[in-house]
């Protein structure tokens, strides 16, 4: 692992006036890590890696709102006299899968047998007493802005040398520390990036669980069908039932194999 960046930013974090920062362009220049063309990368205190985790949930990148929330939490931790480790852990966990997205995500994980593989009754406890079993990450650890907007995953990061370098510099380190974990990509662009990392030998392909619907509220119908809560005949034209059926069968088979290996090991 590379040297922690946090110490060089502590003074800057302490004096941030977050109420006056309402857009990426207003983030103080001191937090700029890299810039090339339309893309800029800004420091966020997300350097904590839960090396005991058996499950890694992977998003695209923290966005502007997450940057503000993490900095606000870092300021609270500094004011409370927290250690570097405590600050980084609290900042990374701030707002992770909060709100309506959490019950959907828990239901999806339980539906494919993740709780059994982890040895817990329900994945609901991953956000409480069993938080040591999960690591919430992003293929791009630090926020990436496309102009003044959050990078959305398009064009794919594997197609952009500048973004590829960011992935290899930060996320690849996390993956190296978690070689036996399972990886769940949150969305198609993340899945594509994890496949590229598998091709690069960073992650073992059999540890990537492709096809779980994104648990966001905007994806409610796909989630409901995947979970068996909505009948095929009641679906709108926007939902591809065959694709979801195939993904469910593939994930159940993959988890079945993993459970069998675990039982035999």
Task: Read off the pLDDT of each residue in 208-231 and give the average, rounded to a whole number.
Answer: 95
Confidence of residue 3 (pLDDT cuts 50, 70, 90): confident
The pLDDT of residue 263 is 87
For residue 53, pLDDT over 90 is answered with yes
Confidence of residue 28 (pLDDT cuts 50, 70, 90): very high
Task: Read off the pLDDT of each residue in 53-59 and give the average, rounded to a whole number.
Answer: 96
For residue 256, pLDDT over 90 is answered with yes
The pLDDT of residue 59 is 93
Per-domain boundaries in the chain: 6-264
Q: Tokens representing 177? A: 């520390």
Q: What is the DSSP string of 151-171?
A: --S-S-GGG-HHHHHHIIIII
The pLDDT of residue 95 is 67
Q: What is the mean pLDDT of the chain?
A: 94
For residue 38, pLDDT over 70 is answered with yes
Confidence of residue 93 (pLDDT cuts 50, 70, 90): confident
What is the pTM (predicted TM-score) of this model? 0.92
The pLDDT of residue 6 is 96
Mean pLDDT is lowest, of 90-94, 152-156, 175-179, for 90-94
The pLDDT of residue 98 is 67
For residue 265, pLDDT over 70 is answered with no
Share of the chain above pLDDT 90, in %: 90
The pLDDT of residue 264 is 82
Helix axes 64-79, 84-93, angle to 10 degrees: 150
User: Which pLDDT tens digit goes with each residue over 113-164?
Assistant: 999 999 999 999 998 899 999 999 999 999 999 999 999 999 999 999 999 9
For residue 100, pLDDT over 90 is answered with no
For residue 1, pLDDT over 60 is answered with no
Residues with Cβ < 8 Å from 238, sequence gap 6 or more?
221
For residue 49, pLDDT over 80 is answered with yes
């Amino acid at each position: 692992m590379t040297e922690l960046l946090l110490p060089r930013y502590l003074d800057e974090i302490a004096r941030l006036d977050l109420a006056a920062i309402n857009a990426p362009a207003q983030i103080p220049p001191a937090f700029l890590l890299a810039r090339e063309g339309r893309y800029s990368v800004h420091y966020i205190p997300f350097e904590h890696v839960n090396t005991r985790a058996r499950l890694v949930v992977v998003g695209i990148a923290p966005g502007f709102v997450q940057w503000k929330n993490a900095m606000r939490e870092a300021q609270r931790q500094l004011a409370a006299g927290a250690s570097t480790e405590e600050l980084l852990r609290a900042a990374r966990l701030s707002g992770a899968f909060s709100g309506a997205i959490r019950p959907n995500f828990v239901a999806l994980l339980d539906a494919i047998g993740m709780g059994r593989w982890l040895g817990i009754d329900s994945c609901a406890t991953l956000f409480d007493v069993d938080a040591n079993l999960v690591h919430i990450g992003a293929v791009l650890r630090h926020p990436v802005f496309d102009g003044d907007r959050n990078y959305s995953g398009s064009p794919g990061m594997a197609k952009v040398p500048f973004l590829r370098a960011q992935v290899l510099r930060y996320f690849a380190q996390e993956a190296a520390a978690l070689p036996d974990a399972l990886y769940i990509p949150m969305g198609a662009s993340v899945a594509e990036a994890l496949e590229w990392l598998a091709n690069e030998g960073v992650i073992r392909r059999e540890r990537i669980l492709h096809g779980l619907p994104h648990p966001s509220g905007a994806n409610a119908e796909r989630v409901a069908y995947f979970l068996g809560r909505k009948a095929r005949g009641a679906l709108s034209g926007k939902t591809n039932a065959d694709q979801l059926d195939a993904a469910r069968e593939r994930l159940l088979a993959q988890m079945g194999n993993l459970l069998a290996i675990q039982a035999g090991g």
